[in-house]
Amino acid sequence: MIPHLDVVGGVGRDLRAEAERLVLGEESVPLLGELRIVGEVVSLPVLDRVVVRLWQRPDVVVHASSVPSFIAEWSYRSPCRKQTTHLRHARCTARLVQFGLWLASEEHDPLKLVDMAERAEAAGLAYVHISDHFHPWIDRQGQSPFVWSVIGGIAARTSRIRVGTGVTCPILRIHPAIVAHAAATSAVMLEGRFFLGVGTGENLNEHVVGRGWPPLEVRREMLEEAIDLMRLLFRGAERTFRGRFFTAEDARLYTLPKEAPP
């Protein structure tokens, strides 16, 4: 199992010292896996120094998030050894930095979510991904708009930022053929900027259609079959699919993007 480091700070807390103590100063801390820094402010220099410390490792992923919903994801892979100590001057050949915003649909109305995506693009972030729930996690969160309508609004108000579901469940509440239909339309509207994130769901959201709640092992099998069906429909033409869990009869997606959503 990949080890994790969690640096948790309260609102307004400067996390630099604690990040350095845990990551830069203690040899006992595992250096392979994921580092999550949670607090109000995590500056880029902190992430720089964390990654510099870990740069000899072949595969390091650093996550940082701050209140209310900001998520920064640093994926770093490098074969480099014994390079300069500062990342900006390192001559490593394979590294990727992406910063994005998680749009919490449980906490914001659809107009606010569209506005947040527009502001994320203006700030230079690479992507936004939006949760897809029928209910919020708790009542006091107070929101849960239909995610595909929100994505359409984001498409109309942005031109560069990537947009995706994080995540939608194509196995119970919504048939995978319908999810494929929605995803294909979103991909056309976003002109190659859409990505489709899927998962096995949560009873809180999926029970509403009265189909029960299968065990996790069954839901995983359902998800694999749902993905097979969606990929088939993304290929175009008229398709018939008969699986263990899902059926599609003479189904065709007429509105398709140039490339299937990743």
Catalytic site residues?
Answer: 133, 202
Q: Which two tokens stand for residue 5?
A: 């480091």
- DSSP assignments along 182-238, one per residue: HHHHHHHHHTT-EE--B----HHHHGGGS-----HHHHHHHHHHHHHHHHHHHT-S-
Torsion of Cα atoms, 201 then 204 then 209 then 210, to 10°: 110
Specify the 3-state DSSP secondary structure of 259: coil
- DSSP assignments along 69-104, one per residue: TEEEEEEE-----S--SSGGG---S-EEEEEEEEE-
Q: Say if residues 127 and 161 touch (Cβ distance below 8 Å).
A: yes
What is the C-alpha radius of gyration for the chain, rounded to an integer number of angstroms? 21
Chain-centre distance of CA 147, in angstroms? 14
What percentage of the chain's residues is helix, strand, coil (to nearest 5)? 35, 20, 45
Q: How far apart are CA 168 and CA 130, in angstroms?
A: 9
* Residue 67 DSSP symbol: T
Helices (H), 21-175: 44-54, 110-122, 147-157
